[in-house]
Structure 1
Amino acid sequence: MNTPALPAVPKGPEPALPHPLPGAVGLSHLSAYDWEAADGVCGGSPHLHLVCTEAYVVTGGRGAVQTLSPDGYREIPLEPGSVAWFTPGTVHRMVQGGDLRITVLMQNSGLPEAGDAVFTFPSEVLADPERYAAVATLPPGTGAEAERAARGRRDLAVEGYLRLRETLVAGDAGPYAEFQRAAARLVRDRVPRWRELWRAGALAAAERTGAQLDALQAGEPSYLGGATAYETAPTRLGGFGMCGRRDEYNLPGVTLPYGGE
């Protein structure tokens, strides 16, 4: 597939993650959308990730996350202190129950921002990469135009999601499996870039641990001489994410256009 399936990500310099968060995870804060959808439910845009596990740590309010996976449909309640996570291929939809606020931890920092997410748009949109990209891409900023586009994107994702959920609940997993295949086709051209980010981030972090264990076993912990601390703060507040208004962080070593949860 030669046509870009998702908004283009500038190539830029080679990624470098010398000091990522533990495990090279990504971090953001979300306030779930309170927009009502066609089924009367308030919440975000259903979607899946292809290679990243995602976790919700609930810090306030009430709500739920609806999921579709080979083991069926679930609705997991969310309240302060709850933790829920879902593996690649799981369709998830954040549901607002009242001032729901969540800290999101994403595996493989940088990959979601580089496009590791596909909305549950109807099949005719998924089959047309240019049409998909046009609907999935939001105008810059956090104003009224961006809000209208984000809400329209959410509504289209819910339209496709409800079809998938209906057939899955009825015992027919075929449309859900086809959606997964369509999602994989859309992102296929991005895999080389994702591989670069993975090597520089999560893989490098794991390999550093191996080198540190080797040094400790050899009785030469000189790497501890480089010990230090880091801090960061949100670089954009209230952006329109997939699930809700999103506070974003530029973590050490990765500067990419916004495109995550």
Structure 2
Amino acid sequence: MVRPERRLALLGGGFSSDDDGLLDDWVLGAAAAPRPAVCFVPTASGDAPAYAERFLAAFRDRACEPSVLPLFRRELDDEGLRDFLLAQDVVYVGGGNTANLLAVWRAHGVDRLLREVYDRGGLLCGISAGANCWADGSHTDSFGPLAHLPDGLGLLTGSVCPHYDSEPGRRPSYRAAVARGALPAGWAVEDGVGALFADGALTDTVTRTPHARLYRVAPDGAGGTSEIPVPCRLLGGPGRTAGPA
């Protein structure tokens, strides 16, 4: 048997922040099924009801089968939880507190199940904390002030920093963490960007806004960091063009 590609996507937006649906349509287009089963996991927000409802409102009229997985008021036993997650073509993780998300997932065994989904070819994706969680480490405000978190599922080698262009202090703080070795080299995601990885390799980078970028941030060998922009394909059809990389 040929092993399916193991894929995940880092999102700098989606239904919770954008009104054009471009990144969410891109995610659905990357799914392995024509009408994918898409599960929203709002753990990082404490299963905020309004967040879950916003997801359902955004996806129920799309060509997919949307659902929500609550863990704070869990309804499924271990076997049911595994069956449910393995039936998903896309697992879409929401934003919130990265450290809390990881702790709750581990308490319920969701971390192990998501690895199984990943190994079976399901697409894992998410925004903010839902992007941070897949890497070896991340840049987060889980503890209040911006800090490095050398913890994650390790499905994506290196580190992730979300909101690279939109939250004050993100860029210098992340670069400083990478420069001093508190976080490994990684990916800085500006709002509006989507980055798809297959078997750990970057295979597609898109943006819904002309000047948003993904950056590869790594130590430069001289006590600082290099910051290399990755060219992005502009979503939205003909007539739209991305600015210089």
Give TM-score, length-normalised by structure 2. Answer: 0.25
**Which structure shows the higher helix fraction?**
1
Q: Which has the larger radius of gyration?
A: 1
